[in-house]
């Protein structure tokens, strides 16, 4: 067998519970595509941090200005507590909503501030708070003199369960969410800006998910889900909304809603490429049954943590950019992670009663699984591949040059920082450790099996080749 046809078949890029929740959508046997990062969260993208402030207070009839209160703030720091603006782009499926700061992103291609998400009538106070927080922390363009300007990115959805006209979110609450931002697991469901939200006639809120790509990059998504009708609600192609017709909110004025989606990646993308990512988000919303209805604010932002230091003032900046031919993995990752993030929000959300006794019921896990089984779409959760974090010391024994007598004459396993990759000819594919102990070569059907003095490359049916180590 000749080498190059085999490599083309094996190594061409495919068109493509660790967040602190007890149960996430993947644990229910929903047949998701792709392999998530170890946290299955936007914080799998190195440097990204998330924090929440959640306000739940009072019960009973609405008394404007007093409650009941069901709201909050969610904050995302693209590079943590480092002032280093990221390239970004925005897109709106339907614009009946607000995301401040988008004009400068469209003009300059950069996002210079944290991202905050709250309720519709608290955008102003949160926007002002972001400026004050950046000033107070010195995380801005001129921390010594304060001679800087910026346009915070603050987005919203309308929390019907909340005394929204009471405007209970304060500057302190926004500061608390920003101060709480951290890497690691991300709380989901009835938290932060998603506290009082409803999605597809069930309780909605905050959700997150991630995907790893064969080209070696990570993409993460965070959503604030407050959109969609029940009748069109689909999961994995199954009309769940037509099968679970009860447990509807006990108030008629529920048709309006919105969804905010934040897409983050460490792939070095330029603003037009990030625009292309943001434009793929509606494909996931459509899968779920959303149509961008007239009353919905479906607004998205995508940013890249690649090209650190590109914004800094100097005569010129050298930039890296992923070739457009390598974008397909990221397109698939965007769609898959957005779909899973929405479902993670709904699976994590618990039944909540807000103003005037309005109740949004949780999506029932057992009934969802029963519907998926009936339509032949349920899978054993353990069959869904999950990447796990691996220390570099555990990867180093695999690093080296390999040679085989079969169709793969030479190969190399390389370690770049904390990322392991398999190189065969001009092809380079990321290797990750799965929860079941396998080493998966992403973007292929191959697993890498370490052996004494070498490795075996395995596809789904057989050993493809056995390679001996010939040097480090």
Q: 457: domain range? A: 388-471
pLDDT for the residue numbered 16: 32
- Answer yes or no: is 250 within a domain: yes
- Looking up residue 360, the CATH number of its domain turns out to be 3.60.70.12
pLDDT value at residue 10: 40
Asked whether the predicted pLDDT for residue 363 surpasses 60, the reply is yes
pLDDT of residue 21: 60
Q: Is 165 helix (H, G, I), strand (E, B) or coil?
A: helix
Active site amino acids: 258, 296, 298
Exposure string for 104-123, b = 16+ CB within 10 A, e = fewer: bbeeebbbbbbbbbbbbbbb
Where is average pLDDT lowest: 54-63, 74-83, 85-94, 391-400? 391-400
Do residues 305 and 46 make contact, with C-beta atoms less than 8 angstroms apart? Answer: yes
Whether residues 417 and 276 fall in one domain:
no
pTM summary value: 0.94
Asked if 269 and 324 touch (Cβ cutoff 8 Å), the reply is no
Q: Is residue 9 part of a domain?
A: no
Tally the domains of the chain: 2
Kindly report, residue by residue over 233-245, the tens digit of the pLDDT. Answer: 999 999 999 999 9
Out of 383, 418, 445, a domain closes at 383
Alpha carbons 112 and 134: distance in angstroms, whole number: 10
- Model pLDDT, residue 254: 53
Query: In this predicted structure, what is the pLDDT of residue 316?
Result: 87
- Considering the domain boundaries, does residue 4 fall inside one? no
Whether 101 is covered by a domain: the verdict is: yes
- Tell me: pLDDT of 250 over 90: no
Residues 71 and 136 in one domain: yes
Sequence-distant (≥ 6) Cβ neighbours of residue 186 within 8 angstroms: 19, 20, 39, 41, 42, 43, 50, 206, 208, 222
pLDDT tens-digit series, residues 395-446: 999 999 999 988 888 999 999 988 999 999 889 999 999 999 999 999 888 9
Question: By C-alpha distance, which of 385, 395, 401, 404 is closest to 446?
Answer: 385
pLDDT at position 100: 98
Question: Mutual orientation of helices 171-180 and 123-137 as an angle, nearest 10°?
Answer: 60
pLDDT (average), residues 265-279 = 98
The span from the CA of 298 to the CA of 94, in Å, is 5
């Amino acid at each position: 067998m000749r080498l190059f046809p085999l490599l083309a078949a094996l190594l061409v890029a495919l068109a493509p519970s660790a967040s602190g929740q007890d149960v996430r959508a993947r644990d229910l046997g929903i047949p998701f595509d792709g392999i998530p990062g170890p946290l299955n969260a936007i914080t799998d993208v190195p440097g990204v941090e998330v924090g929440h402030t959640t306000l739940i207070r009072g019960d009973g009839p609405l008394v404007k200005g007093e409650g009941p209160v069901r709201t909050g703030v969610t904050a995302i720091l693209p590079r943590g507590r480092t002032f280093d603006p990221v390239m970004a782009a925005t897109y709106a499926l339907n614009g009946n909503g607000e995301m401040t700061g988008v004009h400068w992103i469209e003009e300059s291609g950069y996002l210079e501030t944290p991202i905050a998400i709250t309720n519709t009538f608290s955008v102003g106070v949160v926007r002002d708070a972001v400026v004050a927080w950046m000033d107070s922390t010195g995380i801005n363009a001129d921390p010594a003199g304060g001679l800087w300007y910026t346009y915070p990115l603050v987005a919203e959805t309308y929390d019907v369960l909340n005394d929204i006209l009471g405007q209970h979110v304060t500057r302190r609450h926004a500061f608390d969410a920003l101060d709480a931002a951290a890497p690691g697991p991300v709380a989901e469901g009835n938290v932060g800006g998603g506290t009082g939200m409803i999605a597809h006639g069930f309780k909605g809120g905050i959700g997150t998910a991630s995907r790893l790509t064969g080209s070696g990059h990570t993409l993460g998504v965070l959503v604030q889900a407050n959109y969609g009708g029940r009748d069109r609600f689909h999961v994995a192609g199954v009309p769940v909304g037509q099968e679970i017709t009860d447990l509807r909110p006990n108030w008629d004025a529920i048709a309006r809603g919105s969804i905010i989606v934040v897409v983050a990646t460490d792939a070095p993308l330029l603003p037009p490429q990030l625009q292309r990512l943001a434009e793929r988000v509606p494909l996931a919303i459509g899968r779920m049954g959303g149509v961008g209805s007239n009353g919905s604010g479906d607004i998205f932002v995508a940013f890249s943590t690649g090209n650190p230091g590109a914004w800094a003032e100097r005569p010129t900046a050298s930039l890296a950019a992923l070739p457009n031919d390598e974008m397909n993995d990221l397109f698939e990752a965007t769609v898959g992670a957005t779909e899973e993030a929405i479902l993670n929000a709904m699976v994590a959300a618990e039944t909540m009663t807000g103003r005037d006794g309005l109740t949004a019921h949780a999506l029932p896990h057992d009934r969802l699984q029963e519907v998926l089984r009936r339509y032949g779409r349920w899978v054993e959760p353990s069959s869904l591949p999950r990447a796990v974090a691996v220390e570099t010391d555990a990867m180093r024994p695999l690093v080296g040059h390999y040679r085989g007598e079969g169709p793969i004459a030479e190969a190399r396993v390389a370690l770049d920082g904390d990322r392991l990759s398999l190189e065969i000819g001009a092809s380079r594919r990321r290797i990750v450790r799965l929860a079941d102990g396998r080493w998966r070569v992403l973007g292929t059907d191959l697993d890498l099996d370490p052996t004494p003095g070498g490795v075996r490359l395995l596809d789904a049916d057989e050993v493809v080749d056995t390679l001996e180590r010939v040097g480090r």
